[in-house]
Structure 1
């Protein structure tokens, strides 16, 4: 985030703190319960948002060297993402063109693996290069004249930008991440995420709709109640900001140390060190800046509307090379997971079950929950659903 933007954000938070206010919507928002339980809508979301829309499937730090790769099946298509010998990121359907077996089975949550110079099918031994080209057919004479140029791995559109790895699961139609980010482009460029290191990723599965998972991060209204004994003391009240950037959104939450900046010149303000910044990157990624590091939540729908699966990842400014550094980041990872696993997600699963009870046909988001309302409006607009 550019320094000028940090200063502007701090001024807004100071104004909210002084007046006892926070960002507010023009009016409350009634969101239909069907958003979380309708199988027809879930299928539409998977086709449109998780196939055709480019998704952030990883970070530059997940593929530090040529030959490193990860896989992702959570979009409903088996995807293989690999850094080629030329340093560029490639994405393919993780399917052998001979009989359809998966070439690679290591998942991002297990860390990046060394692919060497090729991927070899575990079924019959056909080999493919890091660029997807068919390199070798075992017992080639049995197959006649196989055109290797047309029997390579099916390529998917992939772009690496601002430290993010974007992939279009549905095909190879080109896209521009900067066009997707819009006015957030320069802001993300200023973070320098391409220089960060991956520390740890966990794969979590929960009995709750994927949008309910996203919503966990998009309002501070619940913090004083649900998190009163955990993260509430780490936050300076509920004086949150919110700004919409097309379908994306940014929410900033002040920490107690922010108050000390009032005593220093604005040119010296390090606002990010004293602020938690939450980005909802449409459709399914939540990025949380935590003062000196970043966490990402990449959330996908499960087999039914009542299920979701996610990658929770921690990225740090430099590699953790000492035991002291590892203990520090282990504590941060524990805080990251404990809060949601012990408090947010059990309650979310409780809510998901309640959605099927018929007790209500909509949820009411207050004016003090603007990020949550903006996210659901963006989903409705993308799906062509009537306004709530």
Structure 2
């Protein structure tokens, strides 16, 4: 089944844009395909899991599961942000097991295992292990929580299980140098976040996020009047990222010309004049999703959780100057409402497509030129799947 799907994905990705069509439905529904992604494909990729502003102080942590791995994003006393395993080195206990009242974020001076009270410092080194004095040869200085490979790119924390993967800054250098570097997102701050447990496959969300064609349908009263679908266009294909231009309506562009900026949050400093006349959607393959405007940025933390499910955190980032402005509270209220309204509009479509993918009536459909980002994503998926199949050392199967 996996080999057949890879062949079908490759055939779909090989079509020219003028003949492009959707992927086979099984890539959104099949348990074996999900297991292949979880065990062989996605662990080789860089996944964005946090922004540094979410853990600003020593001891600040985020608790999350990534492809089944229990992780903590934590800032140490040395100021370094690390991604540590939550698995105790004693008996394998999750330090903060799901469903038992542990917070998804907080601040701790020590990481404490609730099972036998082994404790670790913020770097993951074992500090205390009660009643281990009779364990011959036991040396607590040799015990440390596993540290996942992580890197910070433009303020975002990325993690991978591939020790040989090129640095994320190398992979996304073009995206930084040509586009998002102007925003200085390493100095931005996450000022709002909302978590969604979602009943649709992660790839459906990526595809929906990137294409502006659905503005005229799902977002006819929200985004379509602001950034009409027919004016949008996509940058030439890059193997590691996608960039789509969303020009603002003529009325809003004229407003930007008159005032030098649009209403709302104070813009990010250092932008070019044309940056005030359009929005962007960016994808760093496979799941780094940014919806970027001149005065605010929406980042989606997307974590696959199962065949047809994913965990999503929608966030809003603004500049430090924006937080100090007199109109900050009004802009915050308006834009946090917008992000929820827009996402709920997307949920209707995403859940509908997930149900449709399981139907006997589902068949590949043709794509519009406005869905070119989906075509780019398909081509990345075909390459990634073929790499994973040729290099995997795991048994592929529906193991949960």
Which TM-score band applies after superposition, normalised by the shorter structure? 0.7 to 0.9
Spell out the pairing of 1:229-308 with structure 2 (5 A cutoff): 229-243=221-235, 244-256=237-249, 257-259=252-254, 269-303=272-306, 305-308=307-310
The aligned residue for residue 185 of structure 1 is 176
Q: Does 1:207 align with 2:199?
A: yes
CA distance in structure 2 between the aligned counterparts of 1:246 and 1:85, rounded to whole angstroms = 38
The aligned residue for residue 21 of structure 2 is 29
Shift, 1:26, TM fit: 4.4
CA distance in structure 1 between the aligned counterparts of 2:105 and 2:172, rounded to whole angstroms = 27
Contact 1:104 1:119 in 2 (8 A): no
CA distance in structure 2 between the aligned counterparts of 1:321 and 1:106, rounded to whole angstroms = 37
Number of residue-to-residue matches in the alignment: 356
Spell out the pairing of 1:344-383 with structure 2 (5 A cutoff): 344-383=346-385
Contact 2:44 2:165 in 1 (8 A): no
The aligned residue for residue 82 of structure 1 is 74
CA distance in structure 2 between the aligned counterparts of 1:189 and 1:203, rounded to whole angstroms = 27
Shift, 1:299, TM fit: 1.7
CA distance in structure 1 between the aligned counterparts of 2:352 and 2:119, rounded to whole angstroms = 47
Give the root-mean-square deviation of aligned CA atoms. Answer: 2.9
Shift, 1:104, TM fit: 4.0
Bigger shift: 231-240 or 280-289?
A: 231-240
Contact 1:157 1:175 in 2 (8 A): no
Taking a change above 3 Å as real, the CA distance of residues 207 and 282 of structure 1, as seen in their structure-2 partners, is same
Taking a change above 3 Å as real, the CA distance of residues 203 and 110 of structure 1, as seen in their structure-2 partners, is farther
CA distance in structure 2 between the aligned counterparts of 1:285 and 1:311, rounded to whole angstroms = 12
Shift, 1:311, TM fit: 1.3
Taking a change above 3 Å as real, the CA distance of residues 74 and 268 of structure 1, as seen in their structure-2 partners, is closer
Q: Which sections of structure 1, spanning at least 5 residues, go unmatched?
A: 1-23
CA distance in structure 2 between the aligned counterparts of 1:237 and 1:367, rounded to whole angstroms = 11
Q: TM-score, normalised by structure 2?
A: 0.81
Bigger shift: 34-43 or 144-153?
A: 144-153
The aligned residue for residue 118 of structure 2 is 126
CA distance in structure 1 between the aligned counterparts of 2:75 and 2:90, rounded to whole angstroms = 23
Contact 1:287 1:296 in 2 (8 A): yes
Q: TM-score, normalised by structure 1?
A: 0.83
Taking a change above 3 Å as real, the CA distance of residues 358 and 140 of structure 1, as seen in their structure-2 partners, is same
Shift, 1:69, TM fit: 1.3
Secondary structure of 1:78's counterpart equals strand
Shift, 1:83, TM fit: 1.3
Taking a change above 3 Å as real, the CA distance of residues 125 and 330 of structure 1, as seen in their structure-2 partners, is farther
